[in-house]
A and B are shown apart, each in its own frame.
Chain A
Amino acid sequence: MLISDSEPRDPYKKYFDWYANQESSELIKKSRDAERIFRRTGITFAVYGQEDSAERLIPFDIVPRIISGAEWRRLAQGIEQRVAALNAFLEDIYHKQEIIKAGRIPRHLIEKNEAFLPEMIGVRPPGGVYTHIIGTDIVRTGENQFYVLEDNARTPSGVSYMLENRETMMQMFPELFYQNRVRPVENYPKLLRKSLQALAPPGCTGKPRIAVMTPGIYNSAYYEHAYLADQMGVELVEGSDLRVINGKVSMRTTQGYEAIDVLYRRVDDDFLDPLTFRPDSALGVPGIMDVYRAGNITIANAPGTGIADDKAIYSYMPEIVEFYTGRKAILENVPTWRCSEPDSLAYVLEHLGELVVKEVHGSGGYGMLVGPAASKKERAEFAKKLEARPGNYIAQPTLSLSTVPILVNKGIAPRHVDLRPFVLVSNEIRIIPGGLTRVALKEGSLVVNSSQGGGTKDTWVLED
């Protein structure tokens, strides 16, 4: 965010005027206060495979990331275009498959993909919306250069951090919000509820009954599930609360079973319905897919949306956007080599030291190789895996990510970040101004994932 070593970019000017008058010991103390607030609230997440630290806090940095109104408008246009294209793509591949017929995407890439659900072919979700809630991961590499890293179109998480970060900042630094005109994010739960309501099944008369579905308290994002249900004022259900009765998905209340119209599910496709998908799933609802196919419940996001944020599909996003919107993509894709293609594989193997190689179906920063940071031995070992299953990997150049300031013991220091704005799709597309900024807390590190030592900060979009 610094233009040179000393001069902050425009949107940060007022913040740094304020910062110049702060005691750094006082700020460090505020950081600790923030941590205490988070711990008491229970905003913790589980790291798989680490029993003792079963509940960890995501570190929070108290310096906001600030985006000007003009920068945001451009980003928002690009996101809106992309989200519209994702929904059109999903509608297409589960119906006419014109993009395949037009030869723009290879058929096997869709039909052989685990995220593609044949059960969804010909099924039209209420309102025609497949992905209702999206988190688009964006990085910045220059003044006007943004790249989309990933479209999280199935079950994006992190929105509760966006909301709690803002809440905490307003509690700790109210004066900053007088001085800067920061666009609000706290109406997200209301907008989410509105969006879900707007897409109730056609047969639903009266006020739609909404519920959030969670795998339970041991899920790493449980806090968020409970938080959203609470803020929307709807029930938080588990599979064991639900049952199909008279063609409707119903929840067991203290007064008997009551039908649900819209289910915001935070349970993966695989576990949704033991009769259709994994028979051993104890998290799902037997028969829910029949109710869905009959048009008697809205499931957000729709089953089968995972195909849209698959990493193998990602590399085709520029084509996808152009195919459905008729315009060039406003936001760029990171150049991507598909290792399934022999030429690309050869290139990737030759340039392992410069590239980031990711598993096609991986997430959370696991199973990836950051070439420049890896040792010779690590690269050689990875090359073997790559040659054994090339179709399992894609590779991208390491981007020179922009940095933003964070608070460290000695004052302010630059760190790499990404940004996940949240988008709601119903009869309209709503983009919440800001999003979740994830920051690599280690000096020089590019990995922002919370499971790998990343932190978060409040993200301001200024009204200008």
Chain B
Amino acid sequence: MLGRTANGLYWMFRFIERAENTARLIDAGLRMSLTSMQGQDDEWGSVLQSAGVFSHYMANYDEVTSADVVNYLLRDRDNPSSVMQTIEQARNNGRMVRTGLTREAWEATNECYLEMKEQLRRKVPAAELPNIIDSIKQRCGLIRGAFHGTMLRNEIYNFARIGTFIERADNTARILDVKYYVLLPAASYVGTSLDNVQWESILRSVSAHRSYTWAYDTDYNPVNIADFLILNGQMPRSLAYCYEKIVSNLGYLEREYGDRHNAHDTAAGIKSMLHRREIQQIVDNGLHEFLEDFIGQNNRLGNEISEAYQFYQT
């Protein structure tokens, strides 16, 4: 397989994951602004931070308003992480690796692009936002479904999966990091209703506000929320789950190619760290420091993978 093809697959799936995550962040932001309460004004700012585009936004807009932020995140051509731009990049990467995809996986990607291009042709009125968000999530789900249902479990699959989980881990870590202060013990044990809304917003932005209840309790508790998103191996967006998957997909590549790289050790190291840690220990030592360190390591792993498998010409 060409190094460029591996690169294309990896990024195609990172972009699909990112598009969906951005849609979810908007959803959470929207929810917060519906819950009219003191402190909500900052919500769109933290949505921008979670998406990693806050400073870019501030360079282009004078103030943070819900209409501007939504438009920026959904369809701004100047925002490389906007839903439309990421879907277009996913599709371009899909075109580039077309020979590696089944007809079903490609067509789902192409249709997602065509449909979103149509729906995001003009500014989305507030009343239509929930529909658009659903439609983004649905279209991304269709790609994933076609991919899982039809692709051979080979190197192609592995690179796509690795891209998915590197992106997802980065996203979950960012969401938590932006909100880490509301999970801090001192402030949170009080459990005010504002806290509750904030906590729910975190869970909502990873589509986990229902599953949390099944896994823990009906009451939100900051330590449990952190545990759920960082260490819980059953939660498909937790860091632990992402690393479970990254390590196993890298393992397939190792067996298939008969080659072990730095990336394998880095991934295994992160996975076992997540396995050993207790949540209380993480919180006590500093949640922010932990997350910052994790995001850095996750990035480093991405670079090591691209080097190991010759994504670029050197």
Contacts and interface: CB of A to CB of B under 8 A. Distances in A.
A235 B2 contact: yes
Given A226-B98, A254-B2, A240 B310 contact: no
A166 B309 CA distance: 39
B289 to A, nearest CB: 35
Interface of A is mostly: mixed
A129 interface: no
Interface stretch (A8-16, A36-44, A371-379, A447-455): A36-44
A256 B6 CA distance: 13
Contact of B95 (A222, A237, A238): A222
B214 interface: no
A150 interface: no
Contacts of B253: 254
A259 B290 CA distance: 46
A240 B4 contact: yes
Interface in A202-240: 216-217, 222, 226-227, 229-230, 235-238, 240
A67 B3 CA distance: 46
A254 B111 contact: no
B106 A42 contact: yes
A230 B99 contact: yes
A41 B4 contact: no
Interface string B20-54: 00000000000000000000000000000000000
A217 B96 contact: yes
A139 B174 CA distance: 64
Given A41-B107, A42-B106, A252 B2 contact: yes
A246 interface: no
Interface centre among B3, B107, B110, B253 (most CB of A within 10 A): B3
Given A41-B107, A42-B106, A241-B2, A254 B309 contact: yes
B1 interface: yes
Interface centre among A39, A222, A241, A254 (most CB of B within 10 A): A254
Given A241-B2, A252-B2, A255-B259, A230 B98 contact: yes
Interface in B80-116: 92, 95-96, 98-99, 103, 106-107, 110-111, 114
Contacts of A227: 98
B257 A39 contact: no
Contacts of B313: 240-241, 243, 252
B99 A241 contact: no
Interface centre among B98, B111, B259 (most CB of A within 10 A): B98
Interface in B247-262: 253, 257, 259
B114 A39 contact: yes
A321 interface: no
A253 B5 CA distance: 9
A240 B96 CA distance: 13
B110 A253 contact: no
Given A42-B110, A240-B313, A252 B4 contact: yes
Interface size class of A (residues with CB under 8 A): 20 to 34
Nearest to B259: A255
B110 A241 contact: no
B2 A237 contact: yes
A251 B2 contact: yes
A348 B110 CA distance: 49
B92 A226 contact: no
Interface centre among B4, B5, B95 (most CB of A within 10 A): B4
Contacts of B68: none
Contacts of A40: 107, 110-111, 114
A439 to B, nearest CB: 26
A241 B5 CA distance: 10
A229 B2 contact: no
Contact of A226 (B2, B4, B99, B257): B99
Contact of B99 (A235, A240, A255): A235
Interface string A282-298: 00000000000000000
Contacts of B310: 252-254, 256
A41 B110 CA distance: 8
A229 B4 CA distance: 15
A254 B95 contact: no
Contacts of A238: 4
B95 A217 contact: yes
B2 A253 contact: yes
B253 to A, nearest CB: 8
Contacts of B195: none
A148 B98 CA distance: 35
Nearest to B7: A254
Interface string A40-51: 111000000000
B3 A253 contact: yes
Nearest to B159: A254
Interface in B98-145: 98-99, 103, 106-107, 110-111, 114
Contacts of A217: 92, 95-96
Interface in A251-277: 251-256
A323 to B, nearest CB: 42
B3 A241 contact: yes
B95 A226 contact: yes
Contacts of B76: none
B155 interface: yes
Nearest to B313: A240
Contacts of B4: 238, 240-241, 252
Contacts of B92: 217
15 contacts: A39-B114, A40-B111, A42-B106, A42-B107, A42-B110, A216-B96, A226-B98, A229-B99, A230-B99, A241-B2, A243-B313, A253-B310, A254-B1, A254-B253, A255-B257
Given A42-B106, A227-B98, 6 more contacts: A42-B95, A222-B95, A240-B4, A254-B1, A254-B257, A254-B310
3 tightest A-B CB contacts, nearest first: A226-B98, A254-B309, A230-B99
